[in-house]
């Protein structure tokens, strides 16, 4: 029997308000009242999370946009999502 692989997706938390500042993104966590900043690549990741894209798709966008190896983009996306999860700014969807 073949197993299907379901990749987790993530979405911004309801308490995370964002504002674009040029090519970058500022996030306000309403619970802690702390600000977080994302650079251009982080803003692309955030946009992908907002539209419900799976992490491999977001990584592919980064790899294409910044001409980096796919493996590097995948690691960078996973690392950022882990940080955002720890900060409570994103959550896994079901």
* 1 within some domain: no
Please state the domain count of the chain.
1
Q: Which domain holds residue 66?
A: 9-89
CATH of the domain at 61: 3.90.930
* 4 within some domain: no
> How far is the C-alpha of 53 from the C-alpha of 39, rounded, in Å?
19
* 94 within some domain: no
* 66 within some domain: yes
* 65 within some domain: yes
**Structure confidence at residue 93 (pLDDT):** 87
How high is the mean pLDDT of the chain? 92
pLDDT 10s digits, 22-53: 999 999 999 999 999 999 999 999 999 999 99
**Structure confidence at residue 11 (pLDDT):** 94
């Amino acid at each position: 029997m073949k197993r299907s692989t379901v990749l987790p997706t993530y979405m911004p938390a309801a308490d995370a308000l964002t504002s674009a500042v040029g090519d970058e993104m500022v996030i306000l966590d309403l619970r802690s009242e702390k600000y977080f900043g994302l650079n251009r690549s982080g803003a692309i990741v955030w946009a992908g999370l907002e539209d419900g894209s799976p992490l491999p798709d977001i990584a592919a966008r980064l790899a294409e946009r910044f001409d980096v190896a796919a493996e590097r983009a995948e690691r960078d996306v996973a690392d950022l999502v882990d940080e955002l999860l720890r900060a409570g700014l994103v959550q896994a969807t079901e």
